[in-house]
Amino acid sequence: MFDNLEQLMKDLEGVHTIPISIEIDDDGYLDRRCPWNECQFDFKVLLDDWENKVPDEVAYCPFCRHQAHSTAFNRPEQDEYFEQYVVDTLQQKMNQAMEADAAAFNRYGQSGFITLRFDVQTPLHTLVVPPTALDAMRMQIVCEACDCHFAVIGAAYFCPACGHNSARHTILQTFSSARASMIMLPTLNMIPDEDIRATMINTLIEGTLGSLVTAFQRYAEAEYPRLPHYLRPPRRNAFQRINDGNTLWVNAGGTAYTAILNAIEMDQLKLLFQQRHLLAHQQGIVDQDYITNSGDLTYAVGQHLVIREQQFFQFVDLLEKLVSGLSADLPS
pLDDT for the residue numbered 5: 44
Q: Say whether pLDDT at 105 is over 90.
A: no
- In angstroms, the CA 113 to CA 111 distance is 7
pLDDT for the residue numbered 184: 79
Encode the chain in three state secondary structure.
CCHHHHHHHHHCCCCCCCCCCCCCCCCCEEEEECCCCCCCCEEEEEHHHHHHCCCCCCEECCCCCCEECHHHHCCHHHHHHHHHHHHHHHHHHHHHHHHHHHHHHHHHCCCCCCCCCCCCCCCCCCCCCCCCCCCCCCEEEECCCCCCEEEECCCCCECCCCCCECHHHHHHHHHHHHHHHHHCHHHHCCCCCHHHHHHHHHHHHHHHHHHHHHHHHHHHHHHHHHCCCCCCCCCCCHHHCHHHHHHHHHHCCCCCHHHCCCHHHHHHHHHHHHHHHHHHHHCCECCHHHHHHHCCCCCCCCCECCCCHHHHHHHHHHHHHHHHHHHCCCCC
**Least-confidence region, from 121-130, 162-171, 205-214:** 121-130
pLDDT digits (tens, 9 = 90+) for 228-248: 999 998 888 899 999 999 999
Q: Say whether pLDDT at 124 is over 80.
A: no
pLDDT digits (tens, 9 = 90+) for 128-185: 566 777 788 877 888 988 999 999 887 778 999 999 988 888 888 888 888 888 887 7
Q: Say whether pLDDT at 125 is over 60.
A: no
pLDDT for the residue numbered 116: 61
Q: How confident is the model at residue 120 (pLDDT cuts 50, 70, 90)?
A: low
Q: How confident is the model at residue 307 (pLDDT cuts 50, 70, 90)?
A: confident
| Count of beta carbons in the 10 Å neighbourhood of residue 169 | 20
pLDDT for the residue numbered 293: 87
Cα end-to-end distance, the chain, whole Å: 67
pLDDT for the residue numbered 1: 46
pLDDT for the residue numbered 130: 66
pLDDT digits (tens, 9 = 90+) for 18-74: 677 788 898 999 999 999 999 999 999 999 999 999 999 999 999 889 999 999 999
Query: At CA 297, angle to CA 293 and CA 302, rounded to 5?
Result: 85
- In angstroms, the CA 137 to CA 160 distance is 16
pTM recorded for the entire structure: 0.65
Q: Say whether pLDDT at 8 is over 50.
A: no
Residue range 80-109: mean pLDDT, rounded: 70
pLDDT for the residue numbered 189: 76
More confident residue, 327 or 194: 327
pLDDT digits (tens, 9 = 90+) for 249-302: 999 999 999 999 999 999 999 999 998 888 888 888 999 998 898 888 899 999
- In angstroms, the CA 165 to CA 148 distance is 13
Q: How confident is the model at residue 118 (pLDDT cuts 50, 70, 90)?
A: low
pLDDT for the residue numbered 303: 92
